[in-house]
Structure 1
């Protein structure tokens, strides 16, 4: 049964299969060879790369990273390599590639698909036994003194783990260190620029890489990722709001389903009474793996509810049965998951893979602020984060604190996520980079391309191959009965009728062009000569990147960009306008698009883009 916090608390991997056969690397370049692991059959090839444990001391100890490659099946049309960025932290990119390869055949025609086992996966296999011993039984500290006492106990557990570590990895498991490993892999692959497919916690690593090496990113597809730049509290609250909606959906389903163990009652009221009672008197639970233990309402709120109903609502049926048993004093239905997660997130060796990225609460005041926000927004599931509490005793300087990502030099990104969970955090990631869009998946799931979901895989394949199209528009029209739209060569006029066509939402917004705004500012970004719509076009989340069509000609005059959601000024999701005199104004629900006619001014014979063409309005690099 999948539980709510599996997405952001992380599916930490503590077990691993046998490694790939190691091939030597020479002069910084990988030498690929046959894999000795029987589970990695041809055409997979294997190699390895030694990187510094501490990138600030490159002449010191090293850690060996195993890699696998699926060579492009059409080498004459090869575009480059795609590196998988696994989640966890501690997951294996080799396992990801084995799992996803059958569904990525189309992508594999023109790309080498590369997976690797990052340093945190190596650590998960080799950490000393003391690092797997929980530092304490974590609890939600209601006073400053209890917070400090719990942090002190965890700090001792961290120091004991670090002293027992013979590799030096304990202090260098942060995403910045992993990102530098990724750059070493890029160089060893011999690629000037690399494409990436990141999932889940891989978003933290991707942001670290984008900060350090933006010029090395050819394309970046992010699937159910964490937007580290926004901060952990922000991300957990965002996704938990979606989980709260799922809980309300569960109560409605249960009320209408006789097979539900809570049918005929108010399921929400039963649940809230259960967690309140468990906070007063913990519920006994047993697990074959974790033995006997007790569960509080604090633990149940964040760990017990499965956001995915499962096939034929099997997960929700089991959840209702477990709630019914728990209110009678039998917590066995939740025992394995709750006791296991509580134990894992107190293990210093597990937490070391994420505390260096600033996962903990900065102090008791921050914890109280988060608790109030969570309890207000999430009446059924709101609680202080278990994983954040474990990191409060982190004894080292946070190597990779949350901070804004500057989009300079980055290509537009493509994201994908489930509307029932991680879409909201993925969208917060992609919206940092102008021109980026996210695919809305209406089903349940996490890391969708690893689950074989055809829709996001199709979009990812098209995006990653965007710069090297192998099919003509005529062929697209013949094979798929889809007629490509034409970009208008004329600058649109205020008052002209327009339509914003959202494929993801399957909706058309009809209105008029209100005006051409001199400048639009949003969270550090500035766009020039921007289309502003009349109020009839109430675009919102999920419509960014949609074409804006002239209603009369059907030609593209712009790309839908953003709208002011809350009435704020110049912040993310709250753009403002600046006129030629520098006067700033902002109005809630005002929507904007980016003009496209200037693209046509740079098209040379053969449909090639020529930035030096007379009259070209596109800026040249450096301008």
Structure 2
């Protein structure tokens, strides 16, 4: 594979002026590391950060952090930014290092639980409301007014139970937390690796702290420039593309539980039953459950789940205690839906993009965001960064959550970035094959990127 050298940030600064004046974090006390558990070498600690960086008097919270020390001679520190929103970087690191062994040998790997999640002052909301989500499906009689009233009630309960942090869980605030962690570690520059929603945090860090970036890897990329309507429509289309790939596999593999059947028809029949309330899951939950199987991907699991649901006798759906989608999305997306007519137009666009799957959980989440009673500190915009090394972007050809179209868009937005395409399936690319691991390792260790247009062939599923 041909590669080109990464230009150091200090050299780029000679020719490109940073586009932001965000102040760097002040020197912070050390983390005070302790073993996360008796059976692990991973260390845990906390870093105190302001709730509102613009108004420190609002108060502080403790952000949970974890560190896996370099197993050999240390070259630097890599910060892993978890996805979700709502994934735990601490648990991910405790469960096993997130980078290839060659990188783990030379880099301390640090991760964290983003503010408002897990061990970092989680957003707390009324459980009774969370256990009774409203109907989000217009063809099943859903009304936008009901959804928006629910969002206001739920948001009010979150504010009462959580406090002012509700207004400050956006990705820019998370990026500022990372810079506070960097200062606590005593590092002048850090290498950053974001996966899924963590790629938005990575973009915001580079936008606000370009001089602190030694390198940045964006794996399975969120495009922050999209309008809410396009975001929702695209997301449904990505799920549909993955369903189409699942159908091809099922037709060719006799181990598929639906082999010899039409999986799209099976799903359609289940959708109709869910609309009538004759399944123990809602239509929105049906779509989310099936698409989630495509993340790994676990096509056999998707077939088994569809088969199991198709054999369920008619039963009314019971209320589901569905975890509330992390409200960080509402802090990063300004959503305005003015009428039932506009909402239903969104729904029809989704259906056109995903005639089998029909929807994506982003539709429900953005519907709530349209009336969420909290600030949107980081509304959608094109990412603009200058003075950083070339950014490495990695994405699968068939990603059910963040499609290749988004990666190509972010590649165009970030001058000098390079897109590595994995010609396979699933969400998350770095650890797919020897090829993807080698591209990541060469970038982090030696500062090299592949030539534009480079592809890694698909591995086995």
Bin of the TM-score, shorter chain as denominator length: 0.7 to 0.9
Alpha-carbon offset, residue 69 of structure 1 = 2.6
Structure showing greater Rg = 1
Instruction: Give the length in aligned residue pairs.
Output: 424
Change (3 A) 1:47 1:304: closer
| Alignment check: 8 A CA contact 2:225 2:382 kept | yes
Would the alpha carbon gap of residues 301 and 361 (structure 1) be closer, same or farther in structure 2, given more than 3 Å must change? farther
Uncovered stretches (5+) of structure 2, i.e. residues with no partner: 1-25
Deviation at 1:181, TM superposition (A): 0.8
Match of 1:329 among 314, 335, 338: 314
Distance 1:216 1:201, change over 3 A: same
CA distance in 1, matches of 2:259, 2:46: 56
Residues 284 and 329 of structure 1 are in contact (CA less than 8 Å); yes or no, is this contact kept in structure 2? Answer: yes
Residue 252 and residue 122 in structure 1: after superposition, are their counterparts in 2 closer, same or farther (change >3 A)? closer
Task: Report the CA distance between 1:400 and its aligned residue.
Answer: 1.1
Q: TM-score, length-normalised on structure 1?
A: 0.60
- Which structure is higher in strand share? 1
Task: Pick the aligned partner of 2:338 from 346, 357, 363.
Answer: 363
Matched, 1:465 2:452: no
Maintained 8 Å contact 1:204/1:228: yes
* TM-score, L = length of structure 2: 0.79
More helix by share: 2
The runs of 5 or more residues in structure 1 that have no matched partner are 1-25, 286-293, 470-483, 485-499, 507-623
Asked whether 1:38 is paired with 2:13, we answer no
**1:133 partner SS:** helix
In structure 2, distance between residues paired with 1:301 and 1:247: 11
Q: Does 1:504 align with 2:416?
A: no
Whole-Å separation in 2 of the counterparts to 1:175 and 1:352: 11
* 1:432 corresponds to 2:417: no
Is the alpha carbon distance of 1:238 and 1:133 closer, same or farther for their aligned partners in structure 2, counting shifts above 3 Å? same
Q: Secondary structure at the match of 1:223?
A: strand
**What SS is found at the alignment partner of 1:219?**
strand
What residue is the counterpart of 2:209 in the other structure? 213
- CA shift, 1:427, in A, is 3.5
Which of 246, 250, 273 pairs up with 2:246? 250
Question: What is aligned with 1:284?
Answer: 279
Asked whether the 8 Å contact 1:322–1:331 carries over to 2, the reply is no
Residues 295-374 of structure 1: pairs in structure 2 closer than 5 A: 295-296=282-283, 299-305=285-291, 306-307=293-294, 313-325=299-311, 329=314, 339=320, 343-344=322-323, 347=324, 350-358=325-333, 360=335, 362-364=337-339, 367-374=343-350
CA contact (8 A) 1:301 1:381 kept: yes
Q: Distance in 1 between matches of 2:342 and 2:207?
A: 26
* Superposition pairs of residues 520-535 of structure 1, within 5 angstroms: none
CA distance in 1, matches of 2:201, 2:398: 24
1:444 aligns with 2:425: yes
Where does 1:410-421 land on structure 2 (aligned, <5 Å)? 410-421=388-399
Alignment of 1:386 onto 2:384: no
* Cα gap change, 1:416 to 1:320, in 2 (>3 Å): same
Q: CA deviation at 1:379?
A: 0.9
In the other structure, the counterpart of 2:9 is none
In structure 2, the CA distance between the partners of 1:247 and 1:96, relative to structure 1 (3 Å rule), is same
Deviation at 1:255, TM superposition (A): 4.4
Q: Indicate the structure whose relative CO is greater, using CA pairs within 8 Å and at least 6 residues apart.
A: 2
SS at match of 1:50: strand
